[in-house]
Amino acid sequence: MNAHFEAIQGPVSARKLGMLRDIDDCAYDALIRAMPLISDYLKNEIDLADLAGLLLQIASEKPEAARAFAHRIGSDPALVGDYHGLRRWAVHGLQKHRNDTKCMLHHFEWGSPQAYSDEQSLHDTEELLRERGALLHYLAGFGFSEFSIDLHEPDTDGRQTRAVTIDDGVIRYPRRFYGDTTDRALLRRANIAHVAAHLRHSPLRRPAGNRRPSLVAMTALVEDARVERLMVQEYPGLKALWGGYHTATPEVSGFDFAGLSARLARALHDDTYIDANPWVGKGRELFEEAASKGLDDVNAFDRLARTLAIDLGKMRLEPSADRQPEPIYRDDNAILWGPDTALPEDRERHSEIEIVDALQDGEKAERDVEGIDVRHRYRYPEWDHRLSELREGWATVVEEELPRRKTRPSLQRLTQPKITLSASARVPDRAVRLTRLTEGDEIDLNVVVENVVQQRARLSPDGRIFCRHGRRRRSTSVVLLMDFSISTERFVPGSFTKVIDIEKQAALVIAEAMEAQHDRIAIHGFSSNGRHEVNYRRIKDFDEPFGEEARSRLAASASRHSTRMGAAIRHATALLEAEAADHKVVLLLTDGEPSDIDVAEDDYLVEDAREAVVSGLSQRVRTFCVTLDRRADHYARRIFGQRNFLIAERASTFANNTNRTLTRLLAL
């Protein structure tokens, strides 16, 4: 224990370290043992608390991983110097290997956190992910709509993969952008068009057999040229697009394996390119000869690739181990070869962002078909405020199958006044036409004529000759989201009513009022048990009447576990997406701030919930909160915003307050 470590200790870090010891004392011991080494990299108590917090989070998910992490920073203390990179790396490992402890341990023992500290990679990655949507649309235009775009894993030895790789259903990009072009989007489209050419015309996953590396490389080069030529027949502009990246010349590229290959690639692409090298000339001649007989005969091209590879062998040229594709838009051609081949199978190649589609529409259910667990699962991101990033697919919402038609505990109605919502705002609608008005926007021609006719017939005309467009009621869809965490079991201070009962009463009253107004309301509840299990209960759905069955389900709902608000709000928002109403509202009834068993950081869930509320707003879903927690002010304001929450101090006024909130927000 050195003096610096003593100096940076304080109450916050002591509390975190204490919590860590409670969860896993081995990890705690490992950290304390490593402390003399790493404390040099910690500036103050906050840094120490951050580190302890991170370790605490890993330990609460997988204690073994926390031990491996503590040992790792013990043996490589400089890692602690960049907390953000370390955190990103740890979070990535926890998410990616969540189902595989062995891989996770491998990640923490051998992975390279440095790759996550590289600002350039982070910047490039972010840029790629921003462009992902456009690239996928572009690929879909070539007829491949089921693909996703993902990133390469950083290599353990620090070597970065530079090329694009095609895998089953996923295209992997390097984390860093290589190439000196200014128009990165153009290069990425060139990538994708080349990928599409392979997918369309290449025989995929052929066994490589005993092909030597130079033959594998030559076959791939010839195959690239062949599929590109086929593609250009249909998409002539691609020739110029790809041509821009063929920059090899004898002067620049030289006469080694890579140089000659690049020159041949250019010679096959560009008929105006002049290269005096006999090997390049021979390659071009053979290729054109085979091409004139038909571009579909793969075997003919294989044969010529073999001839070219043998010639290279005679020149004693071999491909180097870290050969990068040339020109730069081409992929690494791993897709051409079957599993027994050129590239050793990389077990790390799992998808990192595997359920992109499911995240976007939130509706695609993942079904666990083995065994009995057939509950719907949905993945949602979570906001890491320390890194200002979304952790993709971090929380899993599990929709519970509700017992249908079981015993019916009846819900004791308290003496609660029936409420009526004041009529909500009305919006103009041209489909509604009001006629025969004494004043209005337009004259109704038919009525005018009728009036004049009556006048001439010496009858007294009606005089109401105007018409205008009417208004219709603004339609509203509300998800009433009830907090079913264990804390709702307690009694409301100063009364003999449990919080959960109050929530149920409020739900009952509001649902009745909304139904009476012909508005759409759903009553849902949630409780969480760690990030992998955010239970979501649909007590009443939009399309279901609030009848006996729904009522008994509401009455039977019991409280348990914790409050992971963000995931529940995201799920409710996703469900509201499908609604066609003008007003979409999530009304949250709760009794305390968000918390969960696997989160030790103070602000993490609050900030995450805030992010969920804000991103809901961008989808026109507003979130309001009515809480029974008197001390809710500081966090409720942060999560929901200044005017979007209400603290109901007394149980007796809870339902009325909720009603008031609802009326107010529907009037907006």
Whole-angstrom distance, CA of residue 192 vs CA of residue 187: 9
Task: Please report how close the Cβ of residue 266 comes to another protein at its closest, in angstroms.
Answer: 17
Q: At its nearest, how many Å lie between another protein and the CB of residue 192?
A: 8
Q: Which is nearer to another protein, 189 or 520 (CB)?
A: 189
Query: 634 with 645: CB under 8 angstroms?
Result: no
Distance CA 312, CA 279 (A): 8
Shortest CB 120 distance to another protein, Å: 23
Find out whether 31 and 75 touch, Cβ atoms under 8 Å: no
**Closer Cβ to another protein, 190 or 567, answer by number:** 190
> What is the distance between the alpha carbons of residues 538 and 399, in angstroms, rounded to a whole number?
8
Nearest distance, CB of residue 491 and another protein, angstroms: 48
Name which of 189 and 584 has its Cβ closer to another protein. Answer: 189
**What is the maximum span of the chain, computed from C-alpha positions, in angstroms?**
115
Q: Judged by CB, which is closer to another protein: 10, or 141?
A: 141
Min dist. Cβ of residue 25 to another protein (A): 50
Q: How far is the CB of 459 from another protein (least distance, A)?
A: 14
DSSP state of 322: T
Tokens of 142: 């070539």
Identify the three-state secondary structure at position 222: helix
Least distance in angstroms from the C-beta of 328 to another protein: 15
Alpha carbon 46 to its chain centroid, in Å, reads 30
- The distance of closest approach from Cβ of residue 167 to another protein in the complex, given in angstroms and rounded to an integer, is 21
Nearest to 556 by CA among 658, 418, 417, 404: 404
The 3-state secondary structure of 94-162 reads HHHCCCCHHHHHHHHHHCCHHHHCCHHHHHHHHHHHHHHHHHHHHHHHCCCCCCEEEECCCCCCCCCCC
Instruction: Name the residue nearer to another protein (CB basis): 369 or 431.
Output: 431
Instruction: Return the number of the residue (3 or 431) whose C-beta is nearest another protein.
Output: 431
Q: Is residue 166 within 8 Å of residue 202, measured between CB atoms?
A: no
Residues that bind another protein (CB under 8 A): 131, 133-135, 137-138, 140-143, 145, 185-186, 189, 192-193, 234-241, 244, 430-431, 445-446, 449-450, 452-453, 456
- Secondary structure of residue 645 in the 3-state scheme: strand
Q: Specify the residue, 41 or 235, whose C-beta has the smaller distance to another protein.
A: 235
In this structure, the number of other CB atoms found within 10 A of the CB of residue 33 comes to: 12
Tell how strand 376-384 and strand 389-399 pair up.
Answer: antiparallel
Closer to another protein by Cβ: residue 134 or 597: 134
Residue 145 vs 619, nearer CB to another protein = 145
Q: Give yes or no for a contact between 568 and 526, defined as CB atoms under 8 angstroms apart.
A: yes
Residues 93 and 109: their CA atoms lie apart, in Å, by 11
**Residue 235 beta carbon to another protein: minimum distance, rounded to whole angstroms:** 4
Torsion of CA 14, 17, 22, 24, to 10 degrees: -170
Residue number, 3 or 240, with CB nearest to another protein: 240
CB of 392 to another protein, least distance (A): 18
